[in-house]
Amino acid sequence: MSLVLGIDVSTTATKAVLVDPEGQVIATASSSYGYETPQPMWSEQSPGLWWEGAIDAIQRAFTESGTPPEEIEAVGLTGQMHGSVLLDEAGEVVRPAILWNDQRTGPECDEIRRRVGRERLIEITGNDALTGFTAPKLLWVQTHEPDNWARVRHVLLPKDYVRRRLSGDYAVDVADGSGTILFDLEARTWSPEILETLDVPAGIMPTTHEGPDITGTIDDEGAAATGLLAGTPVIAGGGDQSANAVGVGAIDPGVVALSLGTSGVVFATTNGPAVEPEGRVHAFCHAVPDRWHMMGVMLSAAGSLRWLRDAVAPQLTFEELVAAAADVPAGSDGLIFLPYLTGERTPHPDPLARGAFVGLTIQHDLRHLARAVMEGVAHGLRDGLDLMVDAGLPSPVQIRASGGGTRSPLWRQILADVLDSEIAVVGTEEGAAYGASLLASLGAGWSGTVDEAVQRAVEVEPVAQPSADRELYARAHARFDALYPALAPTFHSI
């Protein structure tokens, strides 16, 4: 049997997925780990955890499926974006990686805008400077840990640290690379102007590659650690959201990918570099050659429902909580939830934004709270989608949803009504790891283009259509959007 291996290096686990030429998942395995919060608003992780997780997940996928390593024809990589992995001359880790959800770099974001100019920064990179991105993390280390910065000879992103351990190569795909805001979005490679202005030596940045490119092969050390055969091609892959878009087939304009996990993402493909003038939605390169994408990110999506369950009703399962919410009519009897529990990125790049229930009365109970949370998350996702459409993207003809929250038929219907679009799911829940395997299939020679790989492998099933409630939700959305400007002064004073 011929197979490809997709590896997803996420914030909480590394996943390995084995996929056959028809796109069927043969085996999957995951290895979990944690991350550290050494100070409030900080988020760090040891890169060694990713490598240990990759070894464990790969070996368990082999063992549990009975797959011999010689059946693997190529390896594709994906993972959490924006993290800063700093290595010395020998390739050893200088300090723990600063992760995408770290919020310490507000002053560094201001410094980037001061040096580059906010308009020029958005013009080149497609993005404003936000705390989640890689560039402000590098400036933070320059300023606060100059001894560590003096040792840095390589900067990588999380999945690319695993790549280096597999093959010895210092390489990055253009989708993940553009998420550093050190990229020239149109040129699809590092921006000499941005690097020079931010005092980041070009020589410490990895080589850039399109998603289906072969960046190297498994070397002897990688083979000894994982069981993979030396010489197996390693494919560039993509950041988790672009790989997930490949995995659900969102590779053409009009087909939107929506991810409803702890965070929430709306992802739309473009045929050229499209930028939202204020930088309120992200503009990155796609893992598909010669395509780009825009992306709206909210920090607490399904994570908001988890918070409600844990804080108010820990005795209930999520299924029970959602079933209770189904008893409440659309609009939650006037109750509105702002899902900014951990700050926000889209459309309000504000780490000090906070969550809120507005409109509470004595008639509301847990059922209303649960439905209001689900509706508030959908309204937050619509904010990102509206910004993309206003920037010139076509309205979606279909939204392909993935992530744990989309298992709920009620939440899928709320999304269809709030976003006013058909919601569909695909035949696998492996997400980004599955997309990485499809990109790897090009390296295996199974397909000539990403479009061919998606057409061959991705099965789509519509699961929700907009109902009459969409008109009610359109009116509710205007009330939702009025709340952040009204409450932001209070959030900031808190």
- Known catalytic residues are 240
For residue 319, what are its two tokens?
A: 């299924």
178 in Cβ contact with 126 (< 8 Å) = yes
Nearest-CA neighbor of 480 among 297, 336, 339, 272?
336
| Contact criterion met (CB below 8 Å) for 102 and 42 | yes
* Residue type present at position 68: P
How many whole angstroms separate alpha carbon 295 and alpha carbon 281? 6
Strand ranges, E, within 116-205: 154-156, 171-173, 183-184, 189-190
Per DSSP, 43 falls in state -
Which residues of 227-287 form beta strands (DSSP E)?
A: 233-239, 255-260, 264-270, 282-285
**Residue 292 CB-density burial (10 A; 0-12 exposed, 13-18 middle, 19+ buried):** buried
Give how far Cα 285 sits from Cα of 10, 184, 197, 312, 427, Å: 20, 10, 22, 41, 26
Token pair of 78 as six digits: 């994906």
* Coil vs helix vs strand at 184: strand
Cβ atoms of 469 and 329 within 8 Å: the answer is: no
- Select from 45, 39, 72 the least CA-distant residue to 440: 72
Quote the CA–CA distance of 321 and 356 in Å, as a whole number. 19
Task: Tell me the DSSP string of 339-394.
Answer: --BTBB-SS--BTT---EEES--TT--HHHHHHHHHHHHHHHHHHHHHHHHHTTPP
Q: Could you write out the DSSP letters of every residue in 9-34? A: E-SSEEEEEEE-TTS-EEEEEEEE--
Q: Which amino acid is at 41?
A: M
Q: Report CA torsion sign: 317, 319, 320, 325.
A: positive
Quickly count: other Cβ atoms within 10 Å of residue 34's Cβ.
11
Q: Quick one: 132 exposed, middle or buried, by C-beta within 10 A (0-12, 13-18, 19+)? A: buried
Is the peptide bond preceding residue 347 cis, with omega within 30 degrees of 0?
yes
171, 164, 169, 170: which is closest to 225 by C-alpha?
164
To which residue do tokens 């995951």 refer?
A: 30
